[in-house]
Structure 1
Amino acid sequence: MIQKEIAKTCEILRNGGIVLYPTDTIWGLGCDASNEEAVERIFFIKKRPNTRTMLILLDSFDELHNYVENLPEITPDLIDIFHKKPLTIIYSGAKNVAPNLIASDGTLGIRITKDFFSKQLCFQLKNPLVSTSANISGQATPTTFSEISNEIIESVDYVVNYKRNIIQSAKPSSIIQIENGNSIKVIRK
């Protein structure tokens, strides 16, 4: 069942579709992070200015060098320190993703997902996934599937049939930014 759901979701992503899917934090809107048109559609769905970038999910630490020009030496230590809670790190020197995902200062938020489903999506897609909260910009972030608005549900190409009935409230990831090589700025704990 889950493998069929992963295969179907990957097919939609490969064809430029937008999906509503569970992550290691909250339910997210996602697309193939290399598809500029799909990324633009997510900005449109969220009614979010494209000056506010979105993060990407990777399936493993080994993939980071493909999306960050000069991976800071401190990265593995930070991931170890935050190993119990999902961690998004904002890196300088972003590369190999849709240009509209990269902030004007060249940065990109990246999280190595620990969730089986989203990890498998990244692995089988062979590309990172965009991950942004499943809400209209400025509205409350839904913490369960049942809190996602019909407007969002009806705007995507596919809603994943996995973990919809989980009622445990999820929380967004911690966010830190690595500046000047190894200087750390906490954005969200």
Structure 2
Amino acid sequence: METKKIDTNINEAIEILKSDGLVAFPTETVYGLGANALSETAVKRVFAVKGRPSDNPLIVHVADFEQVKQYVTNFHPLTEKLVDMYWPGPLTLILEPKAGIFPSVVSAGLKTISFRMPNNTKTLALLREANLPLVGPSANTSGRPSPTSAEHVYHDLNGKIEGILDDGSTSIGVESTVLDISDPTKPPMILRPGAITKEQLETDLGIKIALDSYLIKENDTPKSPGMKYKHYSPETNVLMVREEDWHRAVTYAKERQLKVGVMAGPSVAEKVRADTAAVFMYQDDSVEAATRGLFAGLRALDEPLLDLDLILVATFPEEKLGVAYMNRLKKAAAQQYFD
């Protein structure tokens, strides 16, 4: 199968999707692997192509909230307020849908479905003109760093899917915040942190928001994507490095003649460059730049030609966007710090 990069011809992508084909699409977070969410055949192909465990539910992408109203009746009192504030955008809402609409494979057998309206002009046009809800898990091999460019998708899925709708690099770099509002009688709970932070939700809604920090083990069934203990992982081992530990970490690697790659902002990267085999430098020292560059950096330093023994990655305080960054980094590093 030839995987075609599609720049502007939305109709070509629509025809593929209506024929149970797969098209990767851009969002503001990461690239998603699109398939008709109403077709069991198409959705099963997504699991097969990604090598995704069948107990990992998928997010359904929609063109607007009116579409969601076709699938859900018992809404949480805060639903429309959340939609008005954050859609289109990086917020996924877990709701309980009407029975018999979506194949059970979409929800991994759960009674709930996750919905999102992505903030990307090309993908919103695709969703509107196709008039189909699309599942859209990250368009990569399951468990590996998520794709933030069409090139990343092509690297993982070339020859396995029909098309990639190319819109350059994504602007946020980590997946959406997942908010569980499936029970109208309970307060919202964040199951996966993202760019819309706990602090932002609490300020905007005027209520306390819970954050589920439980790490799902391999035999557990997650209620949301991205809840596994280890995820987003390159082949090369990853260690997290706190700001005060960089000198010791680099010295440790030199003494043991390890080929080490470093991911950090300029203030760290420039200091350690001469003592390491490769450096992926974030655009600046901010957590926003680190979040945009995290998955791209993990992929770049995992290239076989570099043949690294270890990737050392800078940590950030776990507050605001730093919660989402550290959530992904901890899973990429299997929770391991340099110590």
TM-score (norm 1): 0.87
Counterpart position of 2:106: 101
Aligned residue among 142, 158, 164 for 1:159: 164
Task: List per-residue Cα deviations over 1:48-95 (Å, max 9, x = no partner).
Answer: 122111111111111111122322221012234445841001112355
| Alignment CA distance shift 1:60-1:52 (3 Å) | same
Counterpart position of 2:135: 130
1:16-35 → structure 2 map (5 Å cutoff)? 16-35=20-39
Aligned residue among 176, 181, 185 for 2:179: 176
Tell me, yes or no, if structure 1 residue 115 matches structure 2 residue 130: no
Measured in 1, the distance between the counterparts of 2:159 and 2:7 equals 24
Counterpart position of 2:66: 62
Measured in 2, the distance between the counterparts of 1:72 and 1:50 equals 28
Counterpart position of 1:144: 149
Aligned residue among 50, 53, 58 for 2:54: 50
Measured in 2, the distance between the counterparts of 1:4 and 1:170 equals 23
| Alignment CA distance shift 1:23-1:94 (3 Å) | farther
Aligned residue among 38, 41, 48 for 2:42: 38
Q: Is the 8 A contact 1:33 1:39 kept in 2?
A: yes
| Alignment CA distance shift 1:94-1:53 (3 Å) | farther
- Please give the secondary structure, in 1, of the residue aligned with 2:136: strand
Q: Is the 8 A contact 1:24 1:118 kept in 2?
A: no
The structural deviation recorded for 1:149 is 5.4
Letter in 2 for 1:43: F
Aligned residue among 2, 7, 10 for 1:6: 10
| Alignment CA distance shift 1:53-1:130 (3 Å) | same
Unaligned segments of structure 2, at least 5 residues? 1-5, 194-339
Q: Is the 8 A contact 1:12 1:18 kept in 2?
A: yes
Aligned residues, how many?
A: 186
Letter in 1 for 2:52: R
Letter in 1 for 2:92: T
| Alignment CA distance shift 1:84-1:130 (3 Å) | closer
Measured in 2, the distance between the counterparts of 1:84 and 1:8 equals 24
- Please give the secondary structure, in 2, of the residue aligned with 1:154: coil
| Alignment CA distance shift 1:117-1:92 (3 Å) | same
TM-score (norm 2): 0.51
Q: Is the 8 A contact 1:142 1:148 kept in 2?
A: yes
Q: Is the 8 A contact 1:88 1:110 kept in 2?
A: yes
Q: Is the 8 A contact 2:27 2:123 kept in 1?
A: yes
| Alignment CA distance shift 1:67-1:143 (3 Å) | same
Q: Is the 8 A contact 2:76 2:182 kept in 1?
A: no
Letter in 1 for 2:129: Q
Measured in 1, the distance between the counterparts of 2:88 and 2:170 equals 21
Task: List per-residue Cα deviations over 1:93-150 (Å, max 9, x = no partner).
Answer: 3552233112423111100223211111111111111111011111111222233353
Moved over 6 A (4+): none
Measured in 2, the distance between the counterparts of 1:16 and 1:23 equals 21
The structural deviation recorded for 1:16 is 0.8
Measured in 2, the distance between the counterparts of 1:3 and 1:136 equals 23
